[in-house]
Amino acid sequence: MALQTSGRIDLSDVNVELGNSASAYITLGSTAVRDLFGVASGAISLSDGYGASTAARYGNRGVFGGGNTAQDTIEYVSIATTGNASSFGYLSVSRQFLAATSNGVRGVFGGGYATYNTMDYITISATGNATDFGDLSSGRYGPHACSDGTRGIFAGGQEPSAASAVVDYITIASTGNASNWGNLYAAKVLGGAVSSDTRGVFAAGAPYTAASSYITIASSGTGSNFGNLTQTRAYVVGVSNDTRGVFAAGYYNGPVYNIMDYITIATTGNATDFGDLTGTNYGQGPASSGTRGVFAGGFRSGSYLSSIDYMTIATTGNASNFGNLIGLKYTAGGCSGD
């Protein structure tokens, strides 16, 4: 379920979404409501809860797998704190330019260079090596990935001959090959993805664009136009809560960007400036706890990076330093869970 996206929301509706009885005592400023609405502090209103859901897509452990150049290592951090990453295990296939999605319990890594159709999975709460999940419908690298808490989406990517518009879906809790969902609004590779419990939004990418499109994850068909980011670029990464999506970093034909843009996922339109990363780099691995977003690794001035940035999704502003990965990672897949 999810709270409605318009009209009146009652506290009884919020209670039901949180798994309480409709008449239970509840306050807007409680931790449970703030986490559900994605408003960490300050003023809060019932309208902040439009579209909010307890469907799990994330958790406090951020996991980053693969990366430059064709790595198989997986590392993790505790998103709620700051500090350096720890070793998690290994992917089933070494690769870079991959994407990851989760249902809050299981993380699935898909695609990768050179045009792998491999998907492998981990149980996020238990360190260890990844296990084969199944195959994407076609081998490709640089796909976008997101989830509604049940379905995982792998969209676009680079096939051997051209950028792809294909959208695949999986049921994250059940291993097996991906099925065809339909197509993106336009073919793209190395863009960013964010999602709510109903909608996935895919922004920027190559061929170089500022455009974003969206799908309703539980259905099938063709993506629709959403709006534009503030800057044309590829190598973008995204993090989100149930309401807001934030797209960070990027590269465009020479310039490298440290910008972050945000959107309201339930409402189409152009992105707005959010703030800046701590440096100009691209190709990070993204993960979100629903409150905080982290961006791990990347590439800057000819060098691969181990640095990690973090920000609070509900509050605009610049990112801060989180810590460092164990190794250097570029175009790793990132997801989160508990």
Residue 55 is predicted with a pLDDT of: 64
Model confidence band, residue 170 (pLDDT cutoffs 50, 70, 90):
very high
Q: What share of the chain is helix, strand, coil (3-state, %, to 5)?
A: 5, 45, 50
Residue 242 is predicted with a pLDDT of: 85
- pTM equals 0.85
CATH number of 61-337: 2.120.10.80
Q: Give the burial class of 300: count Cβ atoms within 10 A of its Cβ; 0-12 exposed, 13-18 middle, 19 or more buried.
A: middle
Rounded alpha-carbon distances, angstroms, from residue 261 to 174, 211, 239, 334? 34, 13, 11, 19
Segment 291-335, tens digit of pLDDT:
999 999 999 999 999 999 999 999 999 999 999 999 999 999 999
Model confidence band, residue 150 (pLDDT cutoffs 50, 70, 90):
confident
- Give dist(CA 14, CA 9) in Å, integer: 8
Residue 115 is predicted with a pLDDT of: 78
- Give dist(CA 270, CA 163) in Å, integer: 24
Neighbours of 315 (CB within 10 A): 14
Segment 102-133, tens digit of pLDDT:
999 999 999 999 879 999 999 999 999 999 99
Pairing type for strands 86-90 and 99-102 reads unpaired
pLDDT above 80 (res 54): no
pLDDT above 70 (res 1): no
